Structure formats: C-alpha cells, structure tokens
Amino acid sequence: MNNALTRLLEIAPAPSEPRQKDWGGVEHSLGDELPADYKALIHAHGGSSWHSYLYVLEPRCPNENYDLIEWAQNQAEDQEDLWEFEKKPVGPPE
C-alpha cells in the first residue's frame, strides 16, 4: 500500500466491512488491469461519494450509483452514440 493511501485510511477509517472482489473477473469484464491502490481503497471503503465532490466507483457496487461496470458500459454506449453525429476519427491526430 502506498503512503498516500495509508494516510487516507488513517484519517478516513473504513465505514463498513471490507469488500471482497473477484478482481480477475472484474478486470476481464473491463478489459484492463486496475491499480493495486485502487483495489485497496475499494476493499476498505467500497463505492462512495466524498463530500459530494469525488465519486469512487466500485465494480458491482451494491449502490448502483457507484457501479464501475455499469458506468463503463454507459460510457462506451455514449461514445458510440457520438459518432451518429460526428465523423469518427480513424487514428490519433497528426
């Protein structure tokens, strides 16, 4: 665990039971590996809102407002919908 996360958990103790996740399954469904400090934060706090400013999304969160999987699916759909009105780029800008 890095120093910043250690300090965060000191000043903001976990509010509930630690969350257990099948990170392999989560990463497979997202198609990407998640950082270890993010996993530690989710383990301690789960999906949450910090002072109505910072939203921490948790894979398969019991509170659907903070569900990372749902959010990722919605973002992918929204991005695809964008190309109905705009010309989709074929590669990075030169």
Domain boundaries along the sequence of the chain = 3-82
Mean pLDDT score of the chain: 83
**What is the chain's percent helix, strand, coil content, to nearest 5?**
50, 10, 45
Cα angle at 89 between 83 and 94, to 5 degrees?
A: 155
Q: With bands split at pLDDT 50, 70 and 90, how would you rate the model's confidence at 29? A: confident
pLDDT at site 35: 93
pLDDT at site 9: 78
> Please, what sign has the CA dihedral across residues 3, 6, 7, 8?
positive
Q: With bands split at pLDDT 50, 70 and 90, how would you rate the model's confidence at 88? A: confident
Range 83-87 contact pairs with CB under 8 angstroms and sequence separation of 24 or more: none
